[in-house]
Structure 1
Amino acid sequence: NNGSVIGAVIGATVGAGLALVGLPVCLGALGFTGAGIAAGSIAAKMMSAAAIANGGGVAAGSTVAVLQSIGAAGLSAGAKVGLTAALGSAGAASSDWITE
């Protein structure tokens, strides 16, 4: 029916929006910025904990390193496509579940 199609479209749009806009905004709010990790932020606390755990440095490929890379350079085109597909599909499926 039309209601479930409209709900699925809205859910898919919300999911895609989360992937393309929400994730970078959230990373910036946590302190993973283009200029580096913001002092006093959650990202700074994560970096400190990672450095202590690794004997003074943050390991390449670690969660902190990957999040800072995304915060500095943004998501790659492939990551954007993958996240949009996954979160768009999840949004469409969850809207159908919610409207039942």
Structure 2
Amino acid sequence: MEASALTSSAVTSVAKVVRVASGSAVVLPLVVAMAAVPMVLSAMGFTAAGIASSSIAAKMMSMAAIANGGGVASGSLVATLQSLGATGLSGLTKFILGSIGSAIAAGIAKFY
């Protein structure tokens, strides 16, 4: 019961953010940026097949492994980016991040 109330509350909050941000000229660029996340991760070397050799991701993984005594820690930046590169962002996550980012950008744009 608590999870559904939390989800309902989150959806209501996101809906409010969308209403605030929808009148802004920055919504489209942020939507494009959210769609570009998988492409950027892939270009960095975080792919569905794993970390590409000789890529930025490989260098990051090497540095993380050296710092952690030979392994990449679960939940680290490299592990998280690889997980996102392999599975992508869910639709709800894209919507929430895009909405929050749009609201922040709309708030900043009011000053210019």
By the TM > 0.5 criterion, same fold? yes
Partner residue of 1:11 out of 1, 15, 26: 26
| Alignment coverage as a number of residue pairs | 92
| 1:7 shift after superposition | 7.6
1:59 aligns with 2:73: yes
Give, as a single letter, the amino acid of the residue that structure 2 aligns with 1:15. Answer: L
**Superposed CA offset, 1:25-46 (max 9, x none):** 1111111011110100000000
Q: Does 2:104 match 1:90?
A: yes
Partners of 1:24 and 1:89 lie apart in 2 by 22
Q: Compare 70-79 and 87-96 and name the one that shifted more.
A: 87-96
Ranked by relative contact order (alpha carbons within 8 Å, sequence separation 6 or more), the top structure is 1
TM-score by length of 2: 0.71
1:31 equivalent to 2:35? Answer: no
Q: Which moved more, 1:86-95 or 1:35-44?
A: 86-95
**What displacement does 1:17 show?**
2.0
Shift of 1:90: 2.9
- TM-score if structure 1 supplies the norm length? 0.79
Aligned Cα RMSD in Å?
2.1
Unaligned runs of 5+ in 1: 1-5
The separation in 1 between residues aligned to 2:110 and 2:51, in whole angstroms, is 39
State percent identity of aligned pairs: 48
